[in-house]
Amino acid sequence: MSFTNEQIIDAISSKSLVEVMELVKAMEEKFGVSAA
């Protein structure tokens, strides 16, 4: 299933700061990158 950038932003904007931080950490681990 594919999401538009707008759908992704809407979903993220409804999350708390802690949830967004956890999402960023999970993405860093998944893709082997750092968002620093």
Residue 36: its pLDDT value, please? Answer: 77
Give the integer Cα–Cα distance in Å for 9 and 12: 5
Total domains in the chain come to 1
Q: How confident is the model at residue 1 (pLDDT cuts 50, 70, 90)?
A: confident
The H or E element that residue 14 is part of is none
Distance, in Å, from the CA atom of 36 to the CA atom of 30, rounded to the nearest integer, reads 15
Give the type of residue at 15: K
Query: What is the pTM (predicted TM-score) of this model?
Result: 0.73
Instruction: Spell out the alpha helix ranges (H) of the chain.
Output: 5-13, 17-31
Range of the domain at 14: 1-36
pLDDT in tens, 17-35: 999 999 999 999 999 999 8
